[in-house]
Every structure is written in structure tokens, then in C-alpha cells.
Amino acid sequence: MSTVPTLAGGFPDLSDLPAARPPHWGRWIAAALILGGLGLIGRAFVEGQIEWAYVGRFLTVPVILAGIGNTMVMAVLAMALGIVLGVVVAIMRLSPNPVLTAVAAGYTWLFRGTPLILQLLLWFNLALVFPVIGIPGIWSGRAVDVMTPFLAALLGLGINQGAYTSEVVRAGLLSVDAGQYEAAEAIGMSRLKALRRIILPQAMRVVLPPIGNEFIGLVKSTSLASVIQYPEVLHAAENIYYANSRVIELLIVAGLWYLLVVSILTPLQMLLERYFARGAARLGR
């Protein structure tokens, strides 16, 4: 007959006894419900009135491939414009000049506070407000000719992205220790030179990882440019289903391309975050 060892004071020693594990029925029930729901959704797509042959046929047609190319070109250019504006606006927000601070805050408030699709439509219809635009004495032209779908999409997406990027950059600048500013000032550096040579390089470890996430979001936001006739992938899909009435099939084609692009960009973003996380750890030591 086995006996349980006792501790001082006569209390039994239970350290060697196996721990009882609760069954966690709630987890199993939740998992079963989720799998059942996914199964029902998959069955609906399989049995629904979807001609999957059309999906495969139109997945690589030239107009769709051109559309995904236009999507990536617009995303890269708009992100570049957004980064430039974001850095400038973030520096203005931290400026001791109250005018610069107020202008930067107003820019962020305006473009973060209005829907992106509204901004795209306003840029595209700018000719209704300014029939002629240009530089006095140098160049001028009709706004309806200048404000093409490409330019309207670039300005709408890029300026809107700049408002969000400015907050990311501002957070990165604030993450740099105040002693860095004081050290730069002590050796006679101007504020702008200190920002360029000391502060911004250190802020990049905080800024770049979320910028990758912003870029992924911007790739999907280019789909809104279809409302102003910019020929990105969703607009290309719409033009095809207007002709053959295969609406669901062409929307699935566009969705698959967006998923493919995001699936490629997501690991790159994770590598970027991991790289800068290692840099931050080295600085911490």
C-alpha cells in the first residue's frame, strides 16, 4: 500500500502527483462551430451559381494583368508621395513655430477626417472649381485636361496617405530620447541638420515597420480609384463583367489578385519588422 510523503507540519507532499487537466469543453465546442461554419461557406461556394471555369480563364487575361500592374505602380508612387509629405508634416508638427504646427495639424485633421473616396472625387472634379490651373506667367492649362484619372488618383491616395504617415513618423521622432536633441544642439548642429543626421536615422527603427503595414493597406485602397476610371485591377474586372455579366466570377478574379499581392508583401513586412526589432534589441543592450 503506497503512502503519500508528508512535509513538515504533517501536510502531504503533492508535488509528484499528476496535475488534473480540465476538459475545456468550451474550446472544443467553439472549434467545432467554427469548422462547421467554414464548411458551410465552402459548400455554398462550391454549389453556388459560380462558373469557376471563367475564373481560371480571366485570371491572366492581358487587361487584368495590366490592371494589377497599374495597381502596383499607383501604390508605390502614392506611398512615396505619402512618405515625403508625412516626414515634412511630422517635422512641422514638432516645430516650435506655432504657424507651422497649426498648418500641419490642420492638414492631418482634414485628410484623416474625410473619406478617401470623397477626396478622390474632389480631385477628379477639380475643374468644376478651377477651370484653369497652372503657374501664372509660366504655364496654364484646362483642369479637365490636366486632372487625368492617374493624377487624380495619385494626389488623392498620396496626400491622404501623407496624413496617416505623418502620425507614424511623429511617433518615431518622439521615441528618440530627448538627450539626442540636446547633444546635437550642444555641438552646434542646427535643428534641421540634427533631424537629418541624428534623429531621423534613429526614428527609422520605429517608423519603417508600420510603414510596411500602411503600404499593404494602400495597395487595397487603390481599388477606390475605380470610381474615377483609373484602370487598376478592380476597374478592369468591372469592365469585363459589364460586357459578359459574369459579375461574381470577375470579382473573385480581382480578389484573388489582391490576396496574392498581400500574401507576397506580408512576409516582406514581417522580415522588415524582425530586422528592426533586432536593431532595437542591440541598442537596448
The answer to whether position 44 is within a domain reads no
The answer to whether position 266 is within a domain reads yes
Domain of residue 62, CATH code = 1.10.3720.10
Residue pLDDT, tens place only, 112-134: 999 999 999 999 999 888 888 87
Q: How confident is the model at residue 278 (pLDDT cuts 50, 70, 90)?
A: low
The answer to whether position 16 is within a domain reads no
Judge contact between 195 and 112, C-beta under 8 A: no
Domain that holds residue 117: 57-133+140-279
Residue 188 has pLDDT above 80, yes or no: no
Q: Count of domains in the chain?
A: 1
Please tell me which residue, 187 or 73, carries the higher pLDDT value.
Answer: 73
Residue 36 has pLDDT above 60, yes or no: yes
Residue 99 has pLDDT above 90, yes or no: yes
The answer to whether position 29 is within a domain reads no
The answer to whether position 48 is within a domain reads no
Model-level pTM greater than 0.95?
Answer: no
Residue 216 has pLDDT above 80, yes or no: yes
CA separation for the pair 205, 209 (Å, rounded): 7
Q: Please state the rounded mean pLDDT for residues 27-39.
A: 90
Residue pLDDT, tens place only, 40-89: 888 887 777 788 888 888 999 999 999 999 999 999 999 999 999 999 99
The confidence score (pLDDT) of residue 34 equals: 93
Q: How confident is the model at residue 285 (pLDDT cuts 50, 70, 90)?
A: very low
Q: Pick from 121, 93, 117, 127: which is nearest to 107 by CA?
A: 93
Cell numbers for 22, please give them: 480540465
The answer to whether position 41 is within a domain reads no
The answer to whether position 121 is within a domain reads yes
The confidence score (pLDDT) of residue 80 equals: 95
Buried b (16+ CB within 10 A) or exposed e, 170-201: bebbeebeeeebeebeeeebeeeebbeebbbe
The answer to whether position 79 is within a domain reads yes
